[in-house]
Amino acid sequence: AQSVTQLGSHVSVSEGALVLLRCNYSSSVPPYLFWYVQYPNQGLQLLLKYTTGATLVKGINGFEAEFKKSETSFHLTKPSAHMSDAAEYFCAVSDLNRGKLIFGQGTELSVKP
């Protein structure tokens, strides 16, 4: 069965600093992996995804993530944090057999001025 684990329920960075949100997955088949972002009082929206091909994927708002099979990781990064990046971030893996997304427990990103 597939699962994802996000390390750190809360990450705080200064504006302009590097953002690193960690996600490790478990999957018996090649995984399809995703990052979603949830701004306050809103639904989730897709930030980026890895399915096949290039292991470094770029998403919206300057975010990117790298799929590392050897480390079973899919960490999310952004070189320079902006105040507007403050949100909850969810890593997810696709359970292809059952047609559903399985989400991690989320990481809240705070950005200090």
Partner 1 sequence: DTAVSQTPKYLVTQMGNDKSIKCEQNLGHDTMYWYKQDSKKFLKIMFSYNNKELIINETVPNRFSPKSPDKAHLNLHINSLELGDSAVYFCASSPREIGVRRGELFFGEGSRLTVL
In the chain, the amino acid numbered 45 is Q
Q: Which is nearer to partner 1, 14 or 51 (CB)?
A: 51
CB atoms within 10 A of CB 53: 7
Q: Which stretch binds partner 1 (CB under 8 A): 17-25, 61-69, 74-82, 88-96?
A: 88-96
Shortest CA distance to 104 belongs to which of 2, 4, 1? 4
Among 17, 24, 49, 110, binds partner 1 (CB under 8 A): 49
Among 23, 81, 90, 109, binds partner 1 (CB under 8 A): 90
In the chain, the amino acid numbered 4 is V
Q: Is residue 41 near partner 1 by the rule CB under 8 A?
A: yes
